[in-house]
Amino acid sequence: MIRVLKPFEYFEPNTVKEAIDILSRYGRKAKVFGGGTDLLVEMKRGKIAPQYVVYIKSIPGLDYIKYSQEEGLRIGALTTHATIADSHIIRDRFELLATACKKVGTPQVRNVGTIGGNICQGGPSQDTIPSLLVLNAMLKLVGPHSERLVPIDKFFIGPFQTAIDGVELITEIQIPALPAQSGGCYKWITKRTTADETLVGVAVLIVSDSTEGICKDIRIGLCSVAPTPFRARKAEELLREKKFESELLEEIVQAIDDEAIPRSRENYRRKMAKILTKRAIEEVWQRINYLKNINVDGK
């Protein structure tokens, strides 16, 4: 079936300020077009029909990956998933984010879809979000009169609803450098559909200290098991500053079950959230200790 888009006026600003001026002028009647992988689908399905489309992909200076130990990781909002997944900086230092970006959609989607657009979509099952949650990402939002930094765990306020003002743009994602003896991973299971939407996604980041078997910090982020992506903070507290033991791991996965609020296929999502969390924690813990033993033996 051929779907015809409703007519709209098209803008292609050259600067962030121009884009924000247009959004300020037309308000809710306007939609931002970056990679377009979500917007065009919704327009073709008739879910939305903006009167004005603001194409921001041509704005220079919003597609980059920068890293320093002092300032951490900086990612421009128009950086594509493919660029992030292939970045040696991110693969080497933030592997769980590279994994998540490589999971997004199809190769065609990853080549045009942007990380800023994925975040702004605000969906419960966006793959990049659990990794960004455990990495303590901050979002730089620029508006008509000011800019602000918003912690990503404060950004999602409901299904497909975010804290972004209608006249603001995300311009940058900021991630602090990770401490020594830390590691993370992202695990997921997908629906068997043409889009392979994530049914459950879990990111885990663990920081070990110099004491054998002690977990200094743990962060657990989940998607697609609640109205919004979230940090499983109750589960995290069970292992933080404690010795890693199998009994605690069982308590953690039970806490995951308590914190999850699946919107459909409840029993299966809860079960898979627990299984994936347990596997992720075990994998990261083993990897950290393996690398620590290599460093000790190599001295």
Can you give the pTM of this predicted structure? 0.94
Low-confidence stretches of the chain (pLDDT < 70) are 1-3, 192-196, 210-211, 292-299
Query: Rounded to 5 degrees, what are φ and ψ at 33?
Result: -115, 115
Query: Rounded to 5 degrees, what are φ and ψ at 69?
Result: -65, -30
**Which residues are bridge partners to 208 per DSSP?**
215
pLDDT tens-digit series, residues 7-37: 999 999 999 999 999 999 999 999 999 988 8
Q: What is the DSSP code (8-state) at residue 114?
A: B
Residue 61 CB burial class (10 angstroms; 0-12, 13-18, ≥19): exposed
For residue 144, the model assigns a pLDDT of 94
CA distance 110 to 106: 6
CA-based torsion, 49, 121, 60, 83: positive or negative? negative
CATH dotted code for 65-175: 3.30.465.10
CATH topology of domain 9-55: 3.30.43
For residue 211, the model assigns a pLDDT of 67
pLDDT tens-digit series, residues 213-227: 799 999 999 999 999
Do the two domains 65-175 and 182-298 of this chain adopt the same fold? no
Residue environment code for 78-87, b if the CB has 16+ CB neighbours within 10 A, otherwise e: bbbbbbbbeb
For residue 195, the model assigns a pLDDT of 57
For residue 193, the model assigns a pLDDT of 56
CATH dotted code for 182-298: 3.30.390.50
Locate the DSSP E strands across 98-153: 138-142, 147-151
Domain boundaries, the chain: 9-55, 65-175, 182-298
For residue 289, the model assigns a pLDDT of 81
